[in-house]
């Protein structure tokens, strides 16, 4: 079983995510490496929206290979290179993540190993 919570005694989150995600002791954890918005040919689009959507598509594919979906995600770590892109990132994340939303962190970084990449996302999923 996975339990998500925003306890009333804690400050409430400023956007759509859970502050706490807990899984039962016998759960299997699945850790995904950071994913980026690469096209099938190895290129990447120039815009944040398309990179973010591609990144989530790759995450869904990897989870699917383990028989999991985004509903199994308990933690999302998003890394962006531009603070102006936070709104686009959250819009895509919020549209794709089911209720209740997982725990989530977004960090602005100075860059990635490939110039032009704007977003990288890693997730932790649980098979209850």
Domain-embedded: residue 18: no
- Rounded Cα distance between 87 and 97, Å, is 15
CATH code at 90?
3.30.1330.40
Count of structural domains within the chain: 1
Grouping H, G, I as helix, E, B as strand and the rest as coil, residue 103 is strand
Domain-embedded: residue 104: yes
What Å distances lie between residue 17 and 9, 11, 68, CA to CA? 16, 13, 20
What is the per-residue pLDDT across 2-50, written as a single tens digit (0 to 9) for each?
Answer: 889 988 888 888 888 898 898 888 999 999 999 999 999 999 999 999 9
Domain-embedded: residue 98: yes
Residues 61, 125 contacting (CB under 8 angstroms): no
- The structure's pTM equals 0.90
Residues 6, 106 contacting (CB under 8 angstroms): no
Residue-range definition of the domain harbouring residue 88: 28-127
What is the per-residue pLDDT across 48-100, written as a single tens digit (0 to 9) for each?
Answer: 999 999 999 999 999 999 999 999 999 999 999 999 999 999 999 999 999 99
């Amino acid at each position: 079983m996975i339990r998500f919570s925003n306890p009333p005694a804690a400050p409430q989150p400023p956007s759509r995510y859970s502050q706490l995600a807990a899984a039962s002791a016998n759960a299997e954890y699945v850790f995904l490496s950071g994913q980026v918005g690469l096209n099938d040919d190895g290129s990447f689009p120039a815009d944040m929206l398309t990179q973010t959507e591609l990144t989530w598509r790759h995450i869904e594919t990897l989870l699917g290979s383990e028989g999991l979906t985004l509903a199994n995600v308990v933690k999302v770590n998003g890394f962006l290179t531009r603070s102006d892109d936070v709104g686009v990132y959250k819009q895509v994340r919020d549209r794709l993540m089911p209720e209740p939303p997982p725990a989530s962190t977004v960090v602005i970084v100075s860059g990635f190993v490939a110039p032009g990449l704007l977003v990288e996302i890693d997730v932790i999923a649980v098979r209850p």
